[in-house]
Amino acid sequence: MVDGTENDIKPNGNYSSDNNLLIDCKNVDVFYGDKQALYNVSLGINEKEVTSLIGPSGCGKSTFLRCLNRMNDVIDSCSISGNITINGEDIYNPNIDVVELRSRIGMVFQKPNPFPKSVFDNVAYGPRLHGKIADKDEMSHKVEASLVRAGLWDEIKDRLNEPGTSLSGGQQQRLCIARAIAVDPEIILMDEPCSALDPIATAKIEELIDELKTNYTIVIVTHSMQQAARVSQRTAFFHLGNLIEVGDTENIFRSPENEQTEAYVTGRYG
């Protein structure tokens, strides 16, 4: 188990950056019923860079990701202790409005999950929901801008009225990214966004992630270590519910401090 106090003192590990700490998690424990899924995880996530969470299946990385936008709330048996702040604000404070919180934190899932509505309505859903845009023209601009940013506009600008579910898998996933960024979140959480996609679609999404990091803070869960190495600036390695090591992606892959991390990233393990 990781020594929590050590992470408390230097949540950024030995990483030196000009970037500010945006999300700060301290001593997070998560239980599903009696089963503990996360043990005393303390992890800081910097603004406007990509942090990847890696580790073998069942290590708790998705659970951790879902703590950040409180998606674990919908699971009745799930209980969380510890402290998670975003911009210094405790997101588990009872006064926090979960709906408002989720409008600041977008999420992209493993399997593309567009709504069974038109492409346009998929993207416009979030802005409409939060009543941010009332004007029709403004809404079309917003949809266009989100689709452009998601790198999808050129491919589907003539198909805005077709159902989102009729697109190809890679397009659907980018549509989901467009849907997430249409509400102008600060943070985008991605839960294995490429695991259901072919290599070409994956490459497109990775390019997109690289572009998005100029505007958004991105946390990505991935099973592909190459992907973590390609897209992220920082990497956190989870194992059996513990955060084993966190640091600069280069350091994690080249000279990990922990033996378990080394074993995992070199493919001998997990």
Partner 1 sequence: MSKNINSMMLKRQSAEKRFRFYGQASLAIALIMLVVIISSMTYRSIPAFTNYGLNLSINLSKENIAQDNINYRRLIRDNISLLDSGCDDRKCRKEFLRLFSSGAAYELRDTIENDPSLIGKDFSKFILFSDDADLFYKFGIDNSLPESERRLNDREITWLNGFKELGLVEKRFSTNLFTNGDSREPEIAGVLGAVIGSLLTILITLIISFPIGVLSAIYLESFAPKNKLTDFIEVNINNLAAVPSIVFGLLGLALFINFFGMPRSAPLVGGCVLSLMTLPVIIIATRASLQSVPPSIREAALAVGASEMQVVFQHLLPAALPGILTGTIIGLARAFGESAPLLLIGMVAFVVDIPGSFTDPATALPVQVYLWADSPERAFVAKTSAATLVLIFLLIIINLAAVILRKKYQLKW
Residues at the site binding partner 1, with contacts judged by CB under 8 A? 69, 71, 74, 76, 99-100, 102-103, 106-107, 109, 111, 113-116, 125-126, 129-130, 163, 165-166, 176, 179-180, 183
Query: What is d(CA 5, CA 26) in angstroms, rounded to the nearest whole number?
Result: 9
Q: Which residue, 182 or 246, has its beta carbon nearer to partner 1?
A: 182
Q: Which residue, 84 or 244, has its beta carbon nearer to partner 1?
A: 84
3-state secondary structure the chain: CCCHHHHHHCCCCCCCCCCCEEEEEEEEEEEECCEEEEEEEEEEEECCCEEEEECCCCCCHHHHHHHHCCHHHHCCCEEEEEEEEECCEECCCCCCCHHHHHHHEEEECCCCCCCCCEHHHHHHHHHHHCCCCCCHHHHHHHHHHHHHHCCCHHHHCCCCCCEHHHCCHHHHHHHHHHHHHCCCCCEEEEECCCCCCCHHHHHHHHHHHHHHCCCCEEEEECCCHHHHHHHCCEEEEEECCEEEEEEEHHHHHHCCCCHHHHHHHCCCCC
CB of 93 to partner 1, least distance (A): 18
Q: Which residue, 74 or 134, has its beta carbon nearer to partner 1?
A: 74
Among 266, 225, 209, CA closest to 53: 225
Q: Which residue, 80 or 225, has its beta carbon nearer to partner 1?
A: 80
CB of 193 to partner 1, least distance (A): 13
CB of 114 to partner 1, least distance (A): 8
Q: What is the largest CA-CA distance in the chain?
A: 57
CB of 126 to partner 1, least distance (A): 4
Q: Which residue, 103 or 233, has its beta carbon nearer to partner 1?
A: 103
CB of 189 to partner 1, least distance (A): 8
Q: Which residue, 92 or 115, has its beta carbon nearer to partner 1?
A: 115
CB of 62 to partner 1, least distance (A): 12
Q: Which residue, 173 or 222, has its beta carbon nearer to partner 1?
A: 173
CB of 244 to partner 1, least distance (A): 28
